[in-house]
Amino acid sequence: MSKDTPIPEIDQLVQRAHEAFLTFKGIDIKRRAAFMHQVADEIEALGPELIRAAQSETNLPEARLAGEKARTVFQWRSYADALSSGNMLDVRIDTADAGRTPPKPDVRKTYVGLGVVAVFGASNFPFAFSTAGGDTASAIAAGCPVIIKTHPGHPETSALMATAIKTAVRKAGLPDGLFAEVRSDGFEGGQHLVSHPLVKAVGFTGSFAGGKALYDLASKRPEPIPVFAEMGSVNPVFLLPNKLEHAAEETAKQYAASLMLGVGQFCTNPGILAAPNHPGLDRFLNTLRSQIIEAAPAPMLHAGIASAYAKKKTELLSQQGVEVLASVAETNTEGHGHAAVATVKASQFLANEQLAHEVFGPFGLLVIYDTADEATAIAEALDGQLTVSVLAEQDDIKNNERLIQALTDKCGRLLLNGFPTGVEVCYAMQHGGPYPATTDNRFTSVGPDAIRRFARPISYQNWPDEFLPNELKDANPLGIWRTVNGALTKEPAPRG
Amino acid sequence: MSKDTPIPEIDQLVQRAHEAFLTFKGIDIKRRAAFMHQVADEIEALGPELIRAAQSETNLPEARLAGEKARTVFQWRSYADALSSGNMLDVRIDTADAGRTPPKPDVRKTYVGLGVVAVFGASNFPFAFSTAGGDTASAIAAGCPVIIKTHPGHPETSALMATAIKTAVRKAGLPDGLFAEVRSDGFEGGQHLVSHPLVKAVGFTGSFAGGKALYDLASKRPEPIPVFAEMGSVNPVFLLPNKLEHAAEETAKQYAASLMLGVGQFCTNPGILAAPNHPGLDRFLNTLRSQIIEAAPAPMLHAGIASAYAKKKTELLSQQGVEVLASVAETNTEGHGHAAVATVKASQFLANEQLAHEVFGPFGLLVIYDTADEATAIAEALDGQLTVSVLAEQDDIKNNERLIQALTDKCGRLLLNGFPTGVEVCYAMQHGGPYPATTDNRFTSVGPDAIRRFARPISYQNWPDEFLPNELKDANPLGIWRTVNGALTKEPAPRG
């Protein structure tokens, strides 16, 4: 079904995308936002064939896909609204002062798109982080054309989403180079895209190996370009003593649910839980065990992911000091993910860095610590993470200040008494943590601030009103918040 | 005088800086800003020995150094004010909604420092872009300790500035690891710093070769880190026909002044001017010639810069089609920079990319174009630039829409009827252009937004008020602007 796009055709698509950029970057935020709502309308209008295609290509259940479709539409709409509110442009105006020595110029700053963006979609979110997903929506919001490298796991789903975007482009009267698909089941097409001189940024969601390879390729180009690779993590959960003692069973149930959600196929899956050797631990472990062994195995996204999961799980379980707590029996269910939880002592965890690696699927490693110092040592030994969760009562927090400070340095999102699966699409979301969770932790890939990845500031010095972009004009015709001479205001900017 | 810091001592300094980070990052923006004002006070209090040291080490005139000292103090104060106003934190709060399915969590986002920052100062701004310069001030504002790799061209100046910062650190009761100097006249010390696992970002102002080497080193680390290298550019000026016809003499005088300011030793020096073969060109050239030949040669920063300038100028003048318009006689003045201006036809400029390279010093290349299309071809062939200037009347702008669009894509700051030397320190300033002008054009190195280079967002999910940083607390105790549920406000944030 999926036929690789020939290299000369990729070159043509990039060239057309670049030409579209020259038009699109000049279109003001209100019209760009209206186009994004049009894309959302077209996605909403896709009929049951979308869910059917995705179900057959990803094994994800219908209800989950329906929710993910709604989330995808919400991403387009909320990013469009953040754009048209002006929030994303962060306009700054410093007006002239001719009387100063030397005379102070009039300087006004806004954001423009970087140029053509190459997006590599994820297998585990065929809607929300693939063809019409968050990277595509945020690049378009920033004023950038997008070339999507279609995920080979769901080509039909991708084609349907691409049609929705293309229909919106046509209806909005925008240049049709604004969005294009490239199919490549191997590496060649994607590498060619990332190496193309007219491609100016890359969005990627997937494995560490894939993201790091693109980062390396992009940083070795004659003109290096930014790569925003979200590469997952083990999302450690730290359970503290009082919480364990008073809520062992409830916490075990919640952890099991988060661990097994979506057959563990989330970049925010909580793969490691550090628990104290303290009253309540047996109750916690017993409850967790019963939750896991009762779980029915479910099909994973595709057979390759299921076999990689089985292999990594086996490797991890064979490490010194790792003991199985609970494991779903491997029945005759090929392609399914069988949940498992194991325990290891903190000292052994700290001595073997392989134990901290991600096992993509419903596998949890419980690291049992004896003292607060040992918990802090675990925290300090961690790689960068998308999220860290703390399960604690008020006294636990007060007794573990150093631990919590150490955890803050390791993640992009710090949760209290919650689990990391379920990433809210909102302004305050930071989905991006220190390396190796992502390649650039100064940005998020979820929420309207994701737009900022694909834009750069530009200052206009001493330009008269008529030649300025609308957001910089004296009268503030877009009615947006602007920082004028250091103060936020919606008032017109005075000419000096 | 300057003795290299031994490698084991560098390791100790980085370790102490990291320990200082653990304290400093938790200090709220008001106290951090107060510390920055203290640094400004200490710099102001430095006596005439500072100017004397800088004069003897850089050959820069006293008035220029006095101005640069004031600018340096202003950078610390204005970045401190931007910090304490909350503008830099861009706080976002999305409150909980327990009634939603699934329940919406409380998510709050602020910025924290990246960690220890290594700063490489510039030779041409011994105050404003060196030891106590903009990179140091913005890293400190972001909550990061700084290790400065002292510029070997001005060690005494650097030592005096370092003393000012250290005095402020002591008076503020902050950990003394917060700021340290490393001396290394070769590459070893700097490379060791950039490779150190506890160093999390790099600021650099200098040559392309130097900046690119640090970028490559940083991107090949086991944990890649961001490098903000400002590497200069030729800052092209585009003179359009009506402007030429009506203001030939005045424009020539202004161009000559900008070209020769500070013996051409600015990263914003306008090294290329594109002029139309149009009525007025002879008057423009004649005036420019007389301005240049009347100029007295002046000492450059050091003998090495002067000889590199002379060599590059000679190389460029030997290129095919390049004709000298005016050249200051090479009198018996070693270490001085002798201004020169040459002309070349657009067709020859376009055929030889060497002509677009920077000649650091008071050298200008005039590229003479015949048609608007040729001007656009020059624009499209340009590398990324810090600035582009357009000299134009209103009709010129209207007649050259495509040219101006192309120029917008090439720079971080676009000026109209002005010259790029003199970079205003203000919110709206963008000092950073597409590669190779800088390694990351999504950020500025001048103005308070420079702080953002050294911070990363972090989200707190479901944390009670008492454990949140002050800027995220419900009551808004810092009184700053925050985006609460999508709207800017100074009001308290409601708990859901």
Residue ranges of domains in chain B, CATH in brackets: 7-231+441-455 (3.40.605.10), 237-416 (3.40.309.10)
Angle at A397 between CA A396 and CA A403, to 5 degrees: 100
Q: DSSP string spanning B326-393? A: EE----S-TTEEPPEEEEEEHHHHHH-GGGGS---SSEEEEEEESSHHHHHHHHHHPPPEEEEEEE--
Which among A230, A358, A374, A471 is annotated as catalytic?
A230
Q: How many helices (DSSP H) and strands (DSSP E) are in chain A?
A: 15, 19
Residue for token digits 């690779």?
Answer: A229
pLDDT of residue B412: 98
Chain B from 92 to 121: CB within 8 A of any A CB: 92-94, 102, 104-105, 107-109, 112, 114-115
A418, A428, A462 member nearest B417 (Cβ): A462
Rounded distance between C-alpha atoms, residue B486 and residue B255, angstroms = 47
A329 vs B438, which has greater pLDDT? B438
Chain A from 417 to 456: CB within 8 A of any B CB: 417-418, 422, 424, 426-430, 432, 434-436, 439-444, 449, 452, 455-456
* φ, ψ at B353 (rounded to 5°): -70, -15
B226, B444, B458 member nearest A414 (Cβ): B458
Residue B411 annotated in active site: no
Which among A144, A181, A267, A471 is annotated as catalytic?
A267
pLDDT of residue B296: 87
B418, B443, B461 member nearest A413 (Cβ): B461
* Contact yes or no for B428 and A455 at CB 8 A: no
A22, A26, A92 member nearest B428 (Cβ): A92
Beta strands, E only, B208-328:
227-230, 237-239, 272-276, 298-299, 323-327
pLDDT of residue A268: 95
* Contact yes or no for A94 and B424 at CB 8 A: yes
Cβ burial, residue A452 (10 Å; 0-12/13-18/19+): buried
Give Rg (Cα) of chain A: 25
Dmax over CA atoms of chain B, in Å, equals 84
Find which of B78, B391, B456 to mutate to test the A interface (most A CBs within 10 Å of its CB): B456
8 Å CB contact between B415 and A462: yes
Rounded distance between C-alpha atoms, residue A230 and residue A430, angstroms = 12
Q: pLDDT for B362-420, tens place per residue?
A: 999 999 999 999 999 999 999 999 999 999 999 999 999 999 999 999 999 999 999 99
Q: pLDDT for B361-370, tens place per residue?
A: 999 999 999 9
In B, which residues are within 8 Å of A81 by CB distance?
A: 486
Residue B153 has pLDDT above 90, yes or no: yes
Report helix angle B155-171 to B29-45, nearest 10: 130
CA dihedral over B149, B151, B157, B161, signed as positive or negative: negative
Q: pLDDT for B159-193, tens place per residue?
A: 999 999 999 999 999 999 999 999 998 899 999 99
Which among B57, B230, B374, B471 is annotated as catalytic?
B230
pLDDT of residue B2: 52
pLDDT of residue A330: 77
* Residue A101 neighbours by CB under 8 Å, 6+ apart: none
pLDDT of residue B1: 44
The answer to whether ipTM exceeds 0.95 is: yes
* Residue A398 neighbours by CB under 8 Å, 6+ apart: none
8 Å CB contact between B100 and A74: no
pLDDT of residue A1: 43
8 Å CB contact between A297 and A339: yes
Q: How many CA atoms lie within 13 A of B313 on its CB side?
A: 24
Closest chain A C-alpha to B486 CA, distance in angstroms? 7
In A, which residues are within 8 Å of B444 by CB distance?
A: 457
Span B279-308, average pLDDT: 94
pLDDT of residue A345: 98
Residue B230 annotated in active site: yes
Chain B from 41 to 80: CB within 8 A of any A CB: none
B330 vs A361, which has greater pLDDT? A361
* Contact yes or no for B429 and A107 at CB 8 A: yes
* Residues of chain A falling short of pLDDT 70: 1-2, 496
User: Which residue of chain B comes nearest to A226, CA vs CA?
Assistant: B440
